[in-house]
């Protein structure tokens, strides 16, 4: 599925300045406001009182997420933004949250890495801008990158779920699955009811598997990898159904799923 998204990204437009400049010129406010927010978060939050860290982390992620949605709406057409179903906050906010947690849990990290955190968050926002308004030859590649980042965040969420209480773990798995699946499906031109129905089915499948694996002897990373694999298979098949894709797309999804399952089993055997 990712290969089909990325194929068209191999063609480079002849005059890149015509699409790079609008990406940087339109909706600059949220981009300019996000940089100091992340910088201050990385610089100050590692020293905050431990009992206040979680709500402050979530508040900072919420600010970045709101800015990402505003930036996406400013740079893209109303129709393209509405097809995103409110998911343009997920990857930037998740990236910001992980960056701040990394600096807070490991406060001895060099503060010189702060610009890297800022660039990482702004990079996710720029990728989404390219997905919305870039040339047609690059939109599929940008969408594939957004999907990969969403699945990476889902993996982190699934791994974290292994260390929290069962009700919170299932809620975390369900939420991460929903937003990752919506990120994958936000380029389909299907009715919202149909797409949300398939997203709901994906959430049920992945969450049920998470419930089965919870408390078992399986290592957290392996559980998370299995959940991401099922997320890929279910959401990839949903995308193919909504796009009326040819048979080879279903074969591709099945082959990638099978290869991923073998890789997980081999990694678990060697661990």
pLDDT tens digits for range 46-76: 778 778 888 888 999 999 999 999 888 887 7
Report the distance separating Cα 155 and Cα 140, nearest Å. Answer: 22
DSSP symbols for the chain: -HHHHHGGGGSPPS-THHHHHHHHHTTHHHHHHHHHHHHHHHHHGGGS-HHHHHHHHHHHHHHHHHHHHHHHHHHS-HHHHHHTTT-TTHHHHHHHHHHHHHHHHSTTS-GGGHHHHHHHHHHHHHHHHHHHHS-HHHHHHHHHHHHHHHHHHHHHHHHHHTTS-HHHHHHHHHHHHHHHHHHHHTT--S-HHHHHHHHHHHHHHHHHHHHHHTTSSS-HHHHHHHHHHHHHHHHHHHHHHHTT--HHHHHHHHHHHHHHHHHHHHHHHH-
The residue with greater pLDDT, 66 or 9, is 66
The stretch 237-261 carries a mean pLDDT of 92
pLDDT of residue 49: 78
Confidence of residue 144 (pLDDT cuts 50, 70, 90): very high
- C-alpha 39/C-alpha 96 separation (Å) is 10
- Residue range 88-139, pLDDT digits in tens: 999 999 999 999 888 887 767 676 788 889 999 999 998 998 888 877 778 8
At residue 102, the pLDDT reads 85
> Which residue did the predictor score with more confidence, 105 or 238?
238
> Can you state the angle between helices 136-161 and 114-133, rounded to 10 degrees?
130
Greater pLDDT, 107 or 230: 230
Using alpha carbons, select from 152, 158, 90, 177 the residue that is nearest to residue 125. Answer: 90
What are the phi and psi torsion angles at 88 (to 5°)? -75, -5
For residue 24, the model assigns a pLDDT of 58
Q: Is 237 within 8 Å of 216 (Cβ atoms)?
A: no
Residues counted in the chain: 271
> What pLDDT is stored for residue 72 in this prediction?
85
* CB within 8 Å of 200: residues ≥ 6 apart: none
The rounded distance, in Å, linking the Cα atoms of 267 and 22 is 45
Kindly tell me if the per-residue pLDDT of 238 is higher than 60.
Answer: yes
pLDDT single digits (tens) 146-201: 999 999 999 999 999 988 888 899 999 999 999 999 999 988 877 788 888 999 99
- Nearest C-alpha neighbor of 99 from the set 85, 83, 89, 113: 113
pLDDT for res 26 = 61
């Amino acid at each position: 599925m990712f290969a089909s998204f990325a194929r068209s990204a191999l063609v480079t437009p002849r005059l890149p300045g015509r699409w790079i400049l609008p990406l940087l010129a339109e909706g600059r406010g949220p981009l300019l406001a996000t940089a100091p927010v992340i910088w201050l978060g990385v610089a100050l939050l590692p020293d905050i009182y431990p009992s206040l860290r979680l709500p402050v982390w979530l508040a900072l992620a919420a600010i970045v997420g709101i800015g990402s949605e505003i930036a996406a709406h400013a740079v893209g057409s109303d129709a393209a933004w509405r097809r995103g179903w409110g998911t343009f906050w997920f990857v930037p906010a998740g990236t910001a949250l992980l960056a701040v947690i990394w600096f807070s849990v490991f406060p001895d990290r060099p503060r010189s890495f702060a610009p890297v955190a800022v660039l990482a968050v702004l990079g996710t926002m720029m990728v989404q801008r390219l997905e919305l308004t870039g040339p047609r030859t690059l939109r599929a590649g940008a969408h594939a990158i957004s999907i990969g980042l969403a699945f990476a965040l889902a993996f982190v969420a699934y791994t974290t779920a292994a260390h929290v209480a069962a009700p919170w773990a299932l809620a975390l798995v369900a939420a991460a699955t929903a937003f990752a699946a919506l990120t994958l499906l936000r380029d389909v031109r299907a009715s919202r009811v149909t797409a949300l129905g398939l997203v709901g089915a994906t959430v049920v499948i992945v969450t049920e598997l998470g419930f089965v694996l919870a408390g078992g002897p399986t290592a957290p990373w392996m559980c998370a990898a299995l959940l991401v694999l099922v997320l890929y298979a279910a959401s990839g098949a949903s995308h193919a159904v909504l796009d009326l894709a040819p048979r080879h797309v279903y074969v591709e999804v099945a082959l990638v799923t099978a290869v991923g399952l073998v890789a997980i089993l081999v990694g678990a055997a060697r661990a």
